[in-house]
Amino acid sequence: MDIGPIDRSSIIVEIHEHIQEALQKYPEQSISEILNDLGHPQKVANHYRLNKGLKLFKPAKHPILKWLSITFISTFAFFLLFIGILVWKFTPVFELDEEKGKVILLGGLIDINSSSGKVKIMDQYHFSENNYANQFDGSIDFPRSETDEVVVNFKSGIFNFSTAANDKLSWNCKLDTPPTKGFLNQADTVEIDLEDFEGANCDIQIPSNLKLTVDGKDAKITVTDSEFDTYIEMKNGQVHFSPNPEVDYNYELNVKNGTVDKFNSIDSKDAFEIKIFIDNGSIQK
């Protein structure tokens, strides 16, 4: 204690004398009322400590108040950390490219491309039909004696592949600009080159018993009643594979970030090989 025993005794005597005087002066009051008039014990103690130039007592915090204070500070610190991570992870928060029709929010968490018809929300991709006026179609007799493979390269868009009723490779497309002479190449393979177009929308029919190779960045691809080997590799998007119930398939499917539906794979030399690899997206029936 920082107050000696003699001083403490003097203080006690002084308080006792004050109570006795009050009882004599106001006999109708009880001791409790006199003590209340005297003030809170801590206030009385601080009065004497102040007279002696000592440090005043401060009330101790209630345990609940102390816990609430710690909780509030911790929550606020966590909130600041969370905001910092959001700013670091999702920068830029907003980015607009009017010329290309692109809007990017939260560092790519939401990515809208009106040219390609692509909308990305978190890890889900959606593609809408475009309204490009440059529509064209065509077909060729497939040169089986020279090659057995069709290659389709693209940047983005919607592609529907199905089995042709004859031996012709045919296409019906809508593009943002008219196709160039290099659209169709015939060398070791027959190549449909759409890499220079943003937001292609094509229905392509593949002759049976060939190999289809599809390579691109962002797309929604549908393969229906396939009677040809299929190899698809792309960065982002969805592949809907609708098998022909009368045909056997041997599947190799992989999505790094996304989902894959269950397909019934047949290990047979007569089964068509279906190999699909996607970085971000899904493979669905």
Residues sharing a CB contact under 8 Å with residue 127, sequence separation 6 or more, in sequence order: 116, 117, 118, 119, 157, 158, 219, 220, 237, 238
pLDDT value of position 161:
97
Q: What is the dihedral of CA 82, 256, 127, 108, to 10 degrees?
A: 30
pLDDT value of position 60:
57
Residues sharing a CB contact under 8 Å with residue 194, sequence separation 6 or more, in sequence order: 152, 153, 154, 155, 157, 173, 175, 183, 200, 202, 216
Sequence-ordered alpha helix ranges (H) in the chain: 5-25, 31-38, 41-51, 63-89
**Cα gap 272→211, rounded to integer Å:** 9
pLDDT value of position 247:
94
**Cα gap 194→142, rounded to integer Å:** 19
Strand intervals (E) in the chain: 94-97, 102-105, 110-113, 118-121, 124-127, 134-141, 149-154, 156-163, 168-175, 184-186, 190-194, 200-206, 211-224, 229-242, 249-260, 272-284
**Cα gap 204→172, rounded to integer Å:** 7
Domain ranges of the chain: 5-51, 134-284
Buried b (16+ CB within 10 A) or exposed e, 36-66: eeeeeeeeebbebbeeeeeeeeeeeeeeeee
pLDDT value of position 264:
92
**Cα gap 155→236, rounded to integer Å:** 11
The answer to whether the beta carbons of residues 174 and 181 sit under 8 Å apart is no
Statement: the pTM of the whole predicted model exceeds 0.85: no
The answer to whether the beta carbons of residues 230 and 247 sit under 8 Å apart is no
- Closest-CA residue to 204 (of 269, 270, 137): 137
* Mean pLDDT of the chain, nearest integer: 79
Per-residue pLDDT of the chain (285 residues; tens, 9 = 90+): 566 666 666 777 677 777 777 777 777 877 777 777 776 777 777 676 677 666 666 665 556 666 767 777 878 777 777 666 655 555 665 565 555 555 555 555 555 555 555 555 555 555 555 556 678 888 999 999 889 999 999 988 889 999 999 999 999 988 877 777 778 888 889 999 998 887 788 999 999 999 999 999 888 999 999 999 999 999 988 999 999 999 999 999 999 988 999 999 999 889 999 999 999 889 998
**Cα gap 19→29, rounded to integer Å:** 11
